[in-house]
A = this chain, B = another copy of it.
């Protein structure tokens, strides 16, 4: 069972993942490991037995679980960072506190095609897996032992992916992570003073200024944020004020989301020659915590944060939480609009 440990100074939690446990030599061999080829890929059709049994799939009529004939497939992570177990309390010993690593770690396989990332999938394929991600988030958010569900994508080895077949990950944690609390609290503080949602206000401001906007449709806007940590960082924000990616009102807009996401990924591909990237769906906790954060349904707004992995975070960033970004978001947005053949708003 993995163990969660709390840093006694920062209150930051760390997962000591015994299931992934490694001897020092394991880190060297990682450097050499080839990315999976189709013939050996556990996510390819016909290799369903190479993964743990599926928890959900969109399947062709008549096909059987854990066999071929699927379009989207969700399986438990074979090397989970967290595992379902007894959800017990914090145990403390002197300065130090820990918690069993109770949680869920799943993988969503986007397509049977080993090579086709979202930038070249059809809109209806993307809509399909967006819908499945929402359905899994919904199910996991009902589990009383889980407080937060994170959906994210790592594309490429340097972005942390260990398999190249297009996939997303879903992790549910028994605590609300510190970084999430900070964002919730920042938005709640803003709400208290401005009486409005900071994300709604950012949408308004970005549309007014136009120079950082890279895409927009009826339901979503995509832009390079004012204080971009990374070159070519992109946020995708729904116009509808909503706490959760799995909000049923959002599910009606999955076509719009698929289009704006595909277009953003295509922009990065064109401008940056197919970069590796991460994106993370930032959402509210499953249940609004009743604590000092002061968050309400009015103060937070789910969104996607996407960044290509172009620069290495180094001592300065780790030491300060301060980022050095060599490309301004205005310049980045200009390149991305140019690639899309569009004009500023």
A298 to chain B, nearest CB (A): 15
Question: How many protomers of this protein does the assembly include?
Answer: 2
Cβ-based interface call for A124 (8 A): no
Cβ-based interface call for A62 (8 A): no
Cβ-based interface call for A247 (8 A): no
Near B by CB (< 8 A), chain A positions 229-256 give 229, 231-232
Cβ-based interface call for A88 (8 A): no
A81 and B316 form a contact (CB under 8 A) = yes
A321 and B278 form a contact (CB under 8 A) = no
Cβ-based interface call for A227 (8 A): yes
Q: Given the complex of chains A and B, what is the CA–CA distance between A225 and B6 in angstroms? A: 11
Looking at A13, A14, A24, A282, the one whose CB has the most chain B CB atoms below 10 A away is: A24
Residue of B nearest to A16 (CB): B328
Q: Given the complex of chains A and B, what is the CA–CA distance between A335 and B273 in angstroms? A: 41
Near B by CB (< 8 A), chain A positions 175-232 give 177-180, 182-183, 186-187, 190, 198-199, 201-202, 205, 225-229, 231-232
Tell me which residues across on chain B come within 8 A of A327, comparing CB atoms: 21-22, 24
B180 and A314 form a contact (CB under 8 A) = no
Count residues on chain A whose CB falls below 8 Å from chain B CBs: 92
A153 and B279 form a contact (CB under 8 A) = no
Tell me which residues across on chain B come within 8 A of A91, comparing CB atoms: none
B15 and A322 form a contact (CB under 8 A) = yes
Which listed segment binds B: A48-56, A64-72, A158-166?
A158-166
Cβ-based interface call for A9 (8 A): yes
A280 and B319 form a contact (CB under 8 A) = yes
Tell me which residues across on chain B come within 8 A of A6, comparing CB atoms: 227
A322 and B24 form a contact (CB under 8 A) = no
Cβ-based interface call for A95 (8 A): yes
A229 and B14 form a contact (CB under 8 A) = yes
B159 and A316 form a contact (CB under 8 A) = no
Cβ-based interface call for A286 (8 A): no
Q: Given the complex of chains A and B, what is the CA–CA distance between A339 and B202 in angstroms? A: 53
A8 and B226 form a contact (CB under 8 A) = yes
A12 to chain B, nearest CB (A): 6
Tell me which residues across on chain B come within 8 A of A14, comparing CB atoms: 227-229, 322-325
Tell me which residues across on chain B come within 8 A of A279, comparing CB atoms: 315
A160 and B313 form a contact (CB under 8 A) = yes
B173 and A322 form a contact (CB under 8 A) = yes
Residue of B nearest to A270 (CB): B24
Tell me which residues across on chain B come within 8 A of A331, comparing CB atoms: 21
Tell me which residues across on chain B come within 8 A of A187, comparing CB atoms: 9
B17 and A320 form a contact (CB under 8 A) = no
If A81-B324, A160-B314 are given as contacts, then 18 extra A-B residue pairs at C-beta distance below 8 Å, sorted by A number, are A10-B186, A13-B227, A14-B227, A16-B325, A17-B326, A21-B328, A22-B326, A22-B327, A24-B335, A26-B326, A27-B272, A27-B275, A30-B310, A94-B205, A95-B205, A150-B315, A278-B315, A279-B315
